[in-house]
Chains A and B, each alone.
Chain A
Amino acid sequence: MPEATPTDPDAGDGDDGVQIDLISGERMENLTSMEKIRTVLDAVHEGNIVILEEGLAPDEESKLIEVTMSEISPDGFNGIEIETYPKAQTADTSFLGRLMGKEETKKLTVIGPANQIQTLHKDENLISALVSRR
């Protein structure tokens, strides 16, 4: 059975729309750090806005910045905009949870191509993005 991928070229004709990929925590769960970063950056390269239900671990965020930098090119890709929301800290603040860094990774994260996002604004409980078509 063919599985839909976030960057599926058939998913939209891409000419006049903006594609938004909502990626569940479950889908990301079993990927390696590099696979997660590729999933995000491949979608962003296509001009998509990616919303991660559970965000990335700090270490993965650090690698995301590093890989993003290596893919920037003049008149092409010029980087990403990213905003996150920490999920309420009440759910998993057990000692073990903290030890395993669980709570920190669960944060809603919005990532998009810098050249298409005019403003990515965050206040206490709302992230708002103004996205331009390509």
Chain B
Amino acid sequence: MGLLNGLKDSVTRVTERLFSASEPKRIGIYGPPNAGKTTLANRIARDWTGDAIGPESHIPHETRRARRKENVDIERNGKTVSIDIVDTPGVTTKVDYKEFLEHDMEKDDAVRRSREATEGVAEAMHWLREDVEGVIYVLDSTEDPFTQVNTMLIGIIESQELPVLILANKIDCEDSNIQRISNAFPQHETIPLSALEGDNMDEVYDKIAEYFA
């Protein structure tokens, strides 16, 4: 891309920004691997822009690079809330490529995948400190929320004084337990949903508008 083109792009962007009612807020979707972050990000993007963000998978660390969907305009009660969604890799303190071998992968692939995963997690942590203006924290409500990573991440988010919505995902599953999540983080509101089935998305959008407007 030529320098001039790049310049033109950024000028267009600046003028767009100047004339839009308010700048979109950068909302990071965080949470442990497999909680349903990408499924949720895709649903939000599809509902309001018509296309998706990235592949969902039962293999952990499918999302290894943070992906962004810009200018998602969510309409609520006659008002429009504009957000940039950042879908992040699941945060973890350890990555072992051998775990990928269990998913029928060759060693080379597994090593590359785990290296991408570590880079993605590092980047997501960095963004949380520098770049993100609000957080949607997704938890799998069939799993125990009292993990060190969850406690640590919520602590980090609180210390940055970012608005945070806690979502209890996978309520379509029989062993889903929403109460366990609200007990774990009583200082925050917990909103139940199924990102896969689309259950309770209306409330999710109400809360997004309320928290991130």
Indicate whether A68 reaches chain B with its CB closer than 8 angstroms.
yes
Complex contacts, B193 vs chain A, CB 8 Å: none
**How many Å lie between the Cα of A50 and that of B128 in the bound state?**
26
Please judge, given known A-B contacts A58-B158, A66-B125, A72-B114, whether A79 and B152 are in contact too, CB under 8 Å: no
Using C-beta atoms within 8 Å of the partner chain, give the interface range for chain B: 20 to 34
> Total contacts A to B, CB within 8 angstroms?
77
A78 touches B159 (CB 8 A): no
Indicate whether B96 reaches chain A with its CB closer than 8 angstroms.
yes
The smallest C-beta distance from A80 to any residue of chain B, in angstroms, reads 5
**How many Å lie between the Cα of A67 and that of B94 in the bound state?**
11
Main DSSP-derived SS at the B contact region: helix
Name A43-81 residues within 8 Å CB distance of B. 57-59, 61-63, 65-70, 72, 74, 78-81
Q: Pick from A59, A68, A81 the residue with the most CB of B within 10 Å.
A: A68
A78 touches B148 (CB 8 A): no
24 A-B pairs with C-beta separation under 8 A = A57-B159, A58-B160, A62-B129, A62-B156, A65-B93, A66-B122, A68-B93, A69-B118, A69-B119, A69-B121, A69-B122, A70-B119, A72-B94, A72-B114, A74-B111, A74-B114, A79-B92, A79-B95, A79-B96, A81-B93, A82-B152, A104-B159, A114-B94, A115-B96
